[in-house]
Amino acid sequence: MRLANRIFLFAALIASFKGNAQRTAISMPDHDDKPYYFGITFGLNYSVYQISYSQAFANTDTFKTIQPHWAPGFNLGLIGNGRLTKFVDFRFVPSLAFAEKSIEYNWGTTTHKDSIVSKGIEAIYLHMPLQFKFKSERINNFRFYAIVGAKFDYDLAANARSHRTDEFIKVSPVDFGYELGVGFEFFNPTFIFSPEIKISQGLTNQLFVDRNLKLTNAIESLLTRMIVISFHLEG
């Protein structure tokens, strides 16, 4: 008798779930049939340099430590999305990324008396990623997706050719890399709201060699890493 009651309760729950699903209003039901669509994006970024040290850093006592630190920024851009298959899209997301990376170093010489200095490096990236978007099956007004792609960045604020005497390090403007991320689509009657998080990894050495700068002699390479939390509004 108890088993029969449990089976009946389970069947009632399934029927209730199906009934609620059928009553859910489906927003933008024809959206997946669009060959392409556009949107805007904005968000926050956190970026850092990945530092590889030179042999001179190990052989001399000019610096005791050189440490990179994360710093915040923000992104603004556009989205162009093209449908390839039911579950795969191709995206182009040109944007401006206002970023900053911090480097803290500790002089190891008696002249500087072990002073710790922390300086920020500002960047304005013309960020141009090409991405493949892998989508799950749509569940009412919700969907999960993952992205993988390549990026090209051009730093409009790079100081590689700067002649200022107060520069402590110089960086090159061009960077190539890859991106990985995940996101969610929430369908509304007139637009799609998509929060997304991705990691953007640079593969090009950003260090511009200027032997007049002591910090340059202690570093072999600088690679950029950025975590971006974005909010897309798409139609």
- Strand 95-107 and strand 174-187: the pairing is unpaired
- Asked if residue 80 lies in contact with residue 90, where contact means CB atoms within 8 angstroms, the answer is no
Can you give the pTM of this predicted structure?
A: 0.83
What token pair was written down for 97? 């990324």
Each residue's pLDDT tens digit in the chain (235 positions)? 454 454 445 444 444 444 444 567 899 999 999 999 999 999 999 999 999 998 888 787 778 889 999 999 999 999 999 999 999 999 999 999 999 999 998 887 655 556 788 889 999 999 999 999 999 999 999 999 999 999 999 999 999 888 777 788 999 999 999 999 999 999 999 999 999 999 999 999 999 988 888 888 899 999 999 999 999 999 9
Tokens 């990945």 belong to: 50
Q: How far is the C-alpha of 9 from the C-alpha of 15, rounded, in Å?
A: 10
List the domains of the chain with CATH numbers: 2-234 (2.40.160.20)
How far CA 105 is from CA of 28, 94, 222, in Å, comes to 54, 34, 15
Rg for the chain (alpha carbons), in Å? 25
Q: How far is the C-alpha of 118 from the C-alpha of 112, rounded, in Å?
A: 14
Q: How far is the C-alpha of 173 from the C-alpha of 158, rounded, in Å?
A: 5
Please report, to the nearest 10 degrees, the dihedral formed by the alpha carbons of residues 165, 166, 168, 170 taken in order. Answer: -60
Other C-beta atoms within 10 Å of 124: how many? Answer: 15
